Structure 1
Amino acid sequence: MTAIPAHDITGVILAGGAGRRMDGRDKGLLPFGGRALVEWVIDALAPQVGALMISANRNLDAYGRYGIPVIRDTEPGFQGPLAGILSAMQRAQTPWILTLPCDVPFAPRNLAHRLGSEIIRQRADLAVATDGARRHNLHALLPRALAPDLVGFLARGERKVELWQRGHRIAQADFSDCPDGFLNLNTLAEAQGAEARIGNQPPLRPDITRRS
């Protein structure tokens, strides 16, 4: 086996943040290029995985209209992305989850394949993507078997994604050939600047919205 099969992976869109740098707005639902940001991520992830989930803590009905399971953090108060990752691990029915933030409209279309290939090649526990200059810890392929370890990490009051990942064998996959894949929109100004570079895209395909 040279890569982890798509049917063994659940894609998890991380949309559970408080949007503090977006004036409290829910980033996944912000319009971008004629559709919500989360739709861009669904479009990128759906062909790569066997199932999808959206990790969200508000506007659940709005996210639910995509026909994809929406899961909330088990702990209240916007505890950070690891809380959403843990909830996804506990709910997923596949051995692996592939995480992506909800604000990366140009996510690589071969993210799962390349991360999975590096896990196998490097005999690692998990894989994260790098753009050649820095790691992107939420562009990650993670085994669901690490859920108990993550429970303990969070119980100690820890919240940093990289710190948790460093406790395991990490494979890094080099995506320096597609730097736009890591363009994330943290502020309204960033979103407006990125939107100016593109034309409107067609609506999300109906067959993608039905996947779960």
Structure 2
Amino acid sequence: MGGADKGLQPFRGVPLALHALQRLAPQVGGCMLNANRNLAQYAAFGVSVWPDSLVEYPGPLAGFLCGLEHCGTPWLLTVPCDTPLFPHNLAERLARAAAAEAAEIVFAAGAETDARGEVRWRDQPVFCLLQAALAPSLQRYLAEGGRKIDHWARMHRCISVAFDRPADDTRAFANANTLQELHALEHAR
């Protein structure tokens, strides 16, 4: 987004990160944010804000580790702020699948429409429910230079949940990496 702090960009009149918190809060017991700049602005949203504990900000797994380091429950659910239309039943469906399959990590899988208009399914690994007990494994993986979510996750009992029922929105996992994409999502119904 041209160097702008993505989480502070407005979406339907609310900063993206606050929008994500408001959408997620009814689904979980408590929320926190992972941010590496503008910490005071994020703290104004009323939740704990934690920066990455690793130097050089090595990607989404650093955020996962930060969450695990501060997680006070047996499970951590991660969502990115740049995908504002994620399902209202995300936590419930991922948790149900984790229990049914004795999984340690559960990804959401969302529909995407390709250039030909065909729908295909793809894991959305930043929408992740993971056991807090995996923190030491993730610390080791990152210390060894690992950076890929799916590679680390597949070292554990990992499954995906397809959000594929007719009531599911194929835009549920559409993310905004540019202001133009964000404005397009803002006007989606």
Same fold, TM-score > 0.5, yes or no: yes
- What's 1:48 paired with? 27
- What's 1:79 paired with? 58
What does the per-residue CA deviation read over 1:35-87, in whole Å, with 9 as the maximum and x for residues that have no partner? 11112211111011111010000000000001100001111222111111111
Structure 1 gaps, min length 5: 1-21, 199-212
- What's 1:150 paired with? 138
The yes-or-no answer on 1:184 pairing with 2:175 is: yes
Deviation at 1:126, TM superposition (A): 1.2
- What's 2:83 paired with? 104
Deviation at 1:196, TM superposition (A): 3.1
Deviation at 1:34, TM superposition (A): 1.3
In the TM superposition, 1:129-144 aligns within 5 A as: 129-132=108-111, 133-144=121-132
Q: 4+ residue stretches of structure 1 with deviation over 6 A?
A: none
Give the match's secondary structure for 2:172.
helix
Output the amino acid matched with 2:183.
Answer: Q
- What's 1:70 paired with? 49
Q: What is the distance in 2 between the residues matched to 1:172 and 1:33?
A: 30
Output the amino acid matched with 2:148.
Answer: K
Deviation at 1:170, TM superposition (A): 1.2
Q: What is the distance in 1 between the residues matched to 2:32 and 2:84?
A: 17
- What's 1:95 paired with? 74
Contact 1:40/1:106 (<8 A) preserved: no
- What's 1:197 paired with? 188
What does the per-residue CA deviation read over 1:141-189, in whole Å, with 9 as the maximum and x for residues that have no partner? 0100000000100010111111111111112111122322211111122
Contact 1:115/1:128 (<8 A) preserved: yes
Q: What is the distance in 1 between the residues matched to 2:103 and 2:26?
A: 24
The two structures, once aligned, show a CA RMSD in angstroms of: 1.2
Taking structure 1 as the reference length, the TM-score comes to 0.80
- 2:18 alignment partner, one of 39, 52, 56: 39
Give the match's secondary structure for 2:31.
strand
Q: What is the distance in 1 between the residues matched to 2:159 and 2:54?
A: 29
What does the per-residue CA deviation read over 1:118-144, in whole Å, with 9 as the maximum and x for residues that have no partner? 111122111000115100001110100
The structure-2 alpha-carbon separation of the partners of 1:178 and 1:193, relative to structure 1 and needing over 3 Å to count, comes to closer
Give the match's secondary structure for 1:124.
coil
Determine what percentage of the aligned residue pairs are the same residue.
Answer: 42
Output the amino acid matched with 1:150.
Answer: L
Q: What is the distance in 2 between the residues matched to 1:91 and 1:169?
A: 22
Output the amino acid matched with 1:184.
Answer: N
Q: What is the distance in 1 between the residues matched to 2:187 and 2:169?
A: 19
Output the amino acid matched with 1:187.
Answer: T
Give the match's secondary structure for 2:85.
coil
| Higher RCO (C-alpha under 8 Å, 6+ residues apart) | 1
Taking structure 2 as the reference length, the TM-score comes to 0.90
Q: What is the distance in 1 between the residues matched to 2:125 and 2:27?
A: 19
Structure 2 gaps, min length 5: 112-120
